Structure 1
Amino acid sequence: MQAMTVTNEEKQKVLSNYFKQGLDGPLSQFPSKEKRKLIILEAIADRFETETRYTEKEVNAVLQTMYEDFALIRRALIDYGFLARSLDCTEYWVAEEEQS
């Protein structure tokens, strides 16, 4: 996937448009545009501790507080590489960033 350039100003604008009550609040809607989606998913992934293993139920509990279709968000976090999961889908964790 090609890396996208996002300015800090652009990132803040997207986050304030989709998290109207702040980053700890609910997500108003899930964007369809790729760039916005990546910004939103990165912010959501920040709600998870990097050294912690989570069950699907624990991941869902975090995501349910921010968006009604939490399964959509969980799948997107996996698909876009922000979270990883075990082959049997019993454990989830924050994916390590690729070393370049």
Structure 2
Amino acid sequence: MKDIKRFFRGNQLVNIPKKEKDKVLLFDYLITFFDKEIIYTEKEINNILREFYSDYAILRRYLVDFGYLSRESDGSSYTVIERKVIKK
């Protein structure tokens, strides 16, 4: 796994990478802060992500869009999606 520290200053994400492969690297890291056995509220997701980046809402949306989190249609709950790692 490539070093993701280049995206951070301390524990704060400097900016969201533009390249998709770098985004995936970032999201692979961020999802490790969530437990796949827990059903989260939006507020709980936000509280975890705000530790890394002030625009936590965009991180939440990316995690859903990239298939790391599943969201109920009414936004009431989120769960971690088990992802398969494809080695090249």
Could you state the TM-score of these two structures normalised by the residue count of structure 1? 0.78
Q: What is the aligned partner in structure 1 of residue 22 from structure 2?
A: 36
Q: Report how many residues are paired.
A: 85
1:60 pairs, out of 43, 46, 71, with 46
Task: Give the % identical residues.
Answer: 37
Q: Could you list the runs of 4 or more consecutive aligned residues of structure 1 that deviate by over 6 angstroms after TM superposition? A: none
Distance 1:56 1:16 in 2: 27
For structure 2, which runs of at least 5 residues remain unmatched after alignment? none
For structure 1, which runs of at least 5 residues remain unmatched after alignment? 1-7
1:16 partner SS? helix
| Cα shift at 1:96 | 2.0
Distance 1:39 1:82 in 2: 12
Could you state the TM-score of these two structures normalised by the residue count of structure 2? 0.88
Q: Does 1:80 align with 2:69?
A: no
Residue 75 of structure 2 aligns with an amino acid whose one-letter code is C
Structure showing the higher strand proportion among its residues: 2
Q: Does 1:17 align with 2:3?
A: no
Q: What is the aligned partner in structure 1 of residue 78 from structure 2?
A: 92
| Cα shift at 1:19 | 2.4
CA RMSD of aligned residues (A): 1.5
